[in-house]
Amino acid sequence: MRISFGELRIGDIARQRIQASLEKNWVSGGENVAEFERLFAAHFGYRHAVAVSSGTDACVVSCATLYGLGARRGDEILVPACSFVATSNAVLAAGFTPVFVDVELETLNIDPARIESAITPRTRAIQVVHTMGKPCEMDSILEIAQRHGLTVIEDACEAHGATYKGRVVGTLGNLGAFSFYAAHLICCGEGGMVVTCEDALAREASSVRSHGRPCGDIYFDFQRFGLNAKMNDLEAAIGIDGLAGFDEVFETRKRLLYRLLDQTRDLEEHAHFLVEAPHEKVAPHAFPLVLKDPRRDARALYKFLETRGIQCKTLFGSLPTQHRAFSFLGHQLGDFPVAEYIGENGLHFGCHQYLSDEDIDYAAEALHDYFAKA
């Protein structure tokens, strides 16, 4: 593929730290993990950062902290109907029930106007997703959460460095979850991070990621639901390297993303494209689009771009009605019309720092060619 979703390139800082770990014959969580947590929290302004084994585990651990706030198994967490599956799988893995809320077509994010009607006496939290790096409408969401006494978890796996009204994502709710997979702005190969500015939640998260043991106490003293969700020192070494160059990567990806958006403005009659509002800073994760006319056939566009060497993925679609994994919840097609429309008519492809201006121009030309022929 000429245009992929991302690449992992090991820099000098990572190589030196990996070599030091190998020489110590210790690659489980240690000095690198502690340093990555410290640097990540300091760079973005979080009080606490808890490194875990994946972005999915960051979401699972975040959900599981709710037990420390009095939640019980089977209680409900609201999630967007359209998101990467990890968000909702995390709810199930932590022992809760996902309750789906439809999304907005223009933002791909959970629709605040539909949240309140989904709240029941068993609702304990809202887990929002800053989809494709675009922040959710957090003022409305936080107001609803405060009124109903709900915890807010930000799935910011695609949104490293994004801001909403001057505040970085992950500081807006009670907890934030990040992923360090290859497509993301910071890459460890695998890995994730839970962030919070609340001391009690940080203690819960640290315990949950290590089998529910209390930190620094008797080793086999299991006090809560827990996992083996720890990051290792090799992954953390790569993350430290990526964090050192984060600002440059962010600006490079942002420049490339806007180069592509500028070159496709004349196609806005055909598709919804990413829009950055004045009050936000979108993290340049990828290039999403949703066709305005379903007769254009997103699957044909998908195949067309793939034949041109542009790796594509869908925009997830409606988890409760378009994916069999959640059929046990009993939803029917039509229950989440916006998420379902996005599932049928949306796709995205990569826009990362290792692409060139020529690659971006090539992608724009491919899109123009498709719509001209269509």
Say whether pLDDT at 99 is over 70: yes
Please state the pTM of the whole predicted model: 0.96
Domains of the chain with CATH codes: 12-244 (3.40.640.10), 246-373 (3.90.1150.10)
Whether pLDDT at 216 is above 80: no
pLDDT at 147 over 70: yes
C-alpha pair distances (Å), 33 with each of 38, 161, 346: 9, 20, 37
Res. 214: pLDDT tops 90: no
- The reported pLDDT for the residue numbered 164 is 98
Work out the percent of the chain whose per-residue pLDDT is above 70. Answer: 99
- Region 170-174: mean pLDDT is 98
Average pLDDT along the chain: 96
Give the pLDDT confidence of 342-358 residue by residue, as tens digits: 999 999 999 999 999 99
- How far apart are alpha carbons 243 and 297 in whole angstroms? 39
- Longest alpha-carbon distance in the chain: 68
> What integer is the mean pLDDT of 124-144?
98
pLDDT, mean of residues 212-227: 82
Mean pLDDT to the nearest integer, 186-200: 97
CB distance 186 to 202 below 8 Å: no
With both helix axes pointing from N to C terminus, report the angle between 233-244 and 31-44 in degrees, rounded to the nearest 10: 30
DSSP code for 186? S
pLDDT band at 218 (very low <50, low <70, confident <90, very high): low
Is 279 a known active-site residue? Answer: no
What confidence score (pLDDT) does residue 374 get?
A: 73
Contacts of 47 (CB under 8 A, 6+ apart): 41, 196, 197, 198, 199, 202
Average pLDDT of span 49-78: 98
Question: What is the secondary structure of 288-343 as a DSSP string?
Answer: EEEESSGGG-HHHHHHHHHHTTB-EEE---BHHHH-GGGGGG---TTSSHHHHHHH
The active-site residue, picked from 130, 184, 272, 352, is 184
- Looking at residue 217, its pLDDT comes to 63
Query: What is residue 296's predicted lDDT score, i.e. its pLDDT?
Result: 84
